[in-house]
Amino acid sequence: MLKVGLTGGIGAGKSEVSRLLVARGAVLVDADRIAREVVAPGTPGLTAVVDAFGTGVLTADGALDRPALGAIVFADPDKLATLNAIVHPLVGARSRELESAAPDDAVVVHDVPLLTENGLAPLYDLVVVVDADPATQLDRLVRLRGMTEDDARARMAAQATREQRRAIADLVIDNDVPLPDLERRVDEVWAELTRRAQAPDRAGDQPGSGAPE
């Protein structure tokens, strides 16, 4: 099994790259999706979030009000750290469960938005970073996701810088390109991932391979 950490800044197009890798045979462990599951109504995770931030982060039907919570934590690094301390251990535990269910020869891609920020690179055999110019990220967030420019800039500022992400990358996928070019780059990366997954001496050669299995 090859454990791959996939990350990128908000608006960089990481979800599209995840989709393309799955289409080529990757087993995807999506941290964002898991993060939603672990704070679903009735979960201990949601109870812990409400204890920390109050009932104002709930909708009328008792679900997590993500925009309300986001408005609180993205404006305050301490509150963001509090939220991360609740959610990240739950996401990590569920991610390990899904990884353990994958075939022994699988390329398991962990889609982790905050991989850089939380120092998680050593957990993976290698790290793939989806990279885009900050101006491209801002345009996508405003034009495609409907964010205000101020909100988009605040979300970007709460994450690692482009340089910090690239510094931990073993492989970089440039997503300032048309889709056909992106698909060709994903093909190249997939070929490299499968080659590493099949290499008999992979564990001794991989960047990040010192992480415990």
Q: 171 lies in a domain?
A: yes
Q: What band does 206 get if pLDDT is binned at 50, 70 and 90?
A: very low
Tens-digit pLDDT profile for residues 124-145: 999 999 999 999 999 999 999 9
Considering the domain architecture, whether residues 110 and 168 belong to the same structural domain is answered as: yes
Q: Which domain CATH number covers 68? A: 3.40.50.300
Q: 31 lies in a domain?
A: no
Q: What band does 213 get if pLDDT is binned at 50, 70 and 90?
A: very low
Enclosing domain of residue 166: 1-26+106-207
SS3 213: coil
Helices 77-100 and 44-53 sit at what angle, rounded to 10 degrees? Answer: 170
Considering the domain architecture, whether residues 22 and 116 belong to the same structural domain is answered as: yes
The answer, as to whether pTM is greater than 0.85, is no
The total of other beta-carbon atoms located within 10 Å of residue 89's CB is: 12
What's the confidence (pLDDT) of residue 50? 97
Tens-digit pLDDT profile for residues 19-41: 999 999 999 999 889 999 999 99
Tens-digit pLDDT profile for residues 142-195: 999 999 999 999 889 989 999 999 999 999 999 999 999 999 999 999 999 999
- For the record, the structure tokens of 96 come out as 């390990």
Residue 209 pLDDT greater than 80, yes or no: no
Considering the domain architecture, whether residues 167 and 113 belong to the same structural domain is answered as: yes
Cβ contact 80:157 at 8 Å: no
Dihedral sign of CA atoms 41, 118, 99, 13 in order? positive
What's the confidence (pLDDT) of residue 203? 45
